[in-house]
């Protein structure tokens, strides 16, 4: 719930930023500044990033397994 809402808000803000006429270097600097701030603040970003990276390397992401369980299907 909350994580999905935060992700959707973030993606929406990102899409709006790319519509602005901002030089790419400025966008990269802004992203880097926000990234470092979030890591230093320790507000859970590092844990979220680790979980996302782990899910990309898994043979079967947890969401796929959960969906199959909901529908009573198997591989």
Query: Cα(26)–Cα(3) distance, rounded to whole angstroms?
Result: 27
Contact 36, 29 (CB under 8 A): no
Give me the mean pLDDT over the 55-65 stretch.
Answer: 72
Mean pLDDT of 58-72: 66
Distances (CA, A) of 57 to 44, 47, 54: 20, 16, 5
Global confidence as pTM: 0.44
pLDDT, mean of residues 6-28: 87
pLDDT-derived band at 31 (thresholds 50, 70, 90) equals confident
Distance CA 52, CA 75 (A): 23
Contact 27, 17 (CB under 8 A): yes
pLDDT given at position 48:
82
């Amino acid at each position: 719930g909350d994580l999905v809402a935060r992700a959707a808000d973030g993606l929406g803000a990102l899409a709006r930023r790319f519509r602005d006429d901002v030089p790419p270097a400025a966008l990269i600097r802004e992203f880097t500044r926000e990234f470092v701030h979030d890591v230093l603040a320790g507000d859970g970003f590092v844990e979220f990033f680790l979980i996302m990276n782990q899910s990309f390397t898994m043979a079967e992401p947890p969401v796929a397994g959960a969906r199959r369980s909901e529908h009573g299907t198997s591989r």
